[in-house]
Amino acid sequence: MMPDAALRALDAEVEEALASGEESALSILGVGEISVVLGWPQGAPRVAAKRLPLFPGRAAFDAYAEVLGRYLAALRSAGLSVIETELRAVVHDDGRIAGYCLQPALPAESLLHRRLRAVAPSSGLPLVREVVEAAQRAVGERVGLDAQVANWAVDDGRLLYLDVTTPLLSREDGSSELDPNLFLAALPWLLRAPVRRFVLPGLRRRYHQVRSVLLDVCANLIKERLEAWLPAFLEAANERLASPLGADEVRRDYARDARTWATMLSLRRADRWWQRTVRRRPYRFLLPRGITR
Ligand SMILES: Nc1ncnc2c1ncn2[C@@H]1O[C@H](COP(=O)(O)OP(=O)(O)OP(=O)(O)O)[C@@H](O)[C@H]1O
Ligand SMILES: [Mg+2]
């Protein structure tokens, strides 16, 4: 999808931006709660490059590769269309590995949240029903899904799933197949233990039950300023749920979730300031900017 030399050059640009704190030269296609998606080549991007947290070495990278492969296979065998995703490595001088998930860069207008913003809300829209059906097919104790509208694109009228960089696979005992320490490394160290203990189990539960996945999708509509679509999503969800979702429950959930992520992001920003200004060390992660809640 992208020559090695070009990927190494992109990685060098990311490292440079991290070292200087000057991120404005990077071509940014999208931001999630965790990661930033870069476009390559600049100007007319064909590839979306999702940088993963740095891996301490080859073994950790290979373990991630294996879990990612199984996650893609699990979603596809549940009948979801998942965007073509290629995992690549850039080995740094100190032996650490920058991992990138490469995907075809899709036009912004094809992303589901953008598509919904462009048309008047209507119940019974096939795409809305498709989100609900996809969640119902894929989600279970072993396989999780983050079905929020920004994680889908519309390709030829069908939904294509994009958000695979955090593979949500659980073992029989409920523990995560993905080493949570990799992603916890993006947090200030003081926070890692409490997040591992109190936040991760909740996130894991949220993405492994159809009802809570759909509750999350609905709550996220508010964050995306798509609240006008809430009745259509509630209707589609409640056709399938034994215990229906209500608008009040969705609003309460949104408020709680927004607080969690906002606190987490402001602590990460504070940590970045501390590392750069006081410790005079480069901060290793690109932080999402300008998320409105
Ligand atoms: N292939 C793509 N082409 C264009 N834009 C994309 C593509 N993939 C993702 N995006 C945009 O970037 C945003 C963030 O991507 P993604 O959902 O993969 O990251 P994330 O939510 O941070 O993921 P994770 O939860 O795994 O860290 C998406 O919501 C979407 O708007
Ligand atoms: Mg996402």
Cα 161 from Cα 151, distance rounded (Å): 6
Calpha distance 276→282 (Å, rounded): 6
CA distances from 23 to 36, 55, 57, 116, 292 (A): 11, 22, 26, 30, 19
d(CA 73, CA 1): 20
Rounded Cα gap, residues 256 and 223, in angstroms:
12
pLDDT recorded at residue 183: 79
pLDDT of residue 180: 86
Ligand 1 neighbourhood includes 216 CB (under 6 angstroms): no
Confidence (pLDDT) at 263: 77
Least confident of 205-209, 213-217, 260-264: 260-264
Average pLDDT over residues 59-85: 98
In this predicted model, what pLDDT tens digit does every residue of 97-146 receive, in sequence order? 999 999 999 999 999 999 999 999 998 889 999 999 999 999 999 999 99
From ligand 2's centre to the CA of 94, what distance in Å? 30
pLDDT of residue 98: 94
pLDDT at 111: 96
**Average pLDDT of the chain, as a whole number:** 90
Measured from the Cα of 146, ligand 1's closest atom is: 25
Rounded to whole angstroms, how far apart are CA atoms 46 and 157? 21
Give the three-class secondary structure for 29.
Answer: strand
**E strands within the chain?**
28-31, 36-40, 47-51, 86-91, 97-104, 152-155, 158-161
Which pLDDT score, from 0 to 100, does residue 32 have? Answer: 67
Mean pLDDT of 38-45: 94
Mean pLDDT of 176-191: 82
For a mutational test of ligand 1's pocket, the pick from 36, 52, 151, 199, i.e. the residue with the most ligand atoms closer than 8 A to its C-beta, is 151
Report every protein residue that has its C-beta within 5 angstroms of ion ligand 2.
32, 151, 163
Q: What is the pLDDT of residue 113?
A: 97
Å from CA of 279 to ligand 1 middle: 31
Q: Reply yes or no on whether the pLDDT at 293 is more than 60.
A: no
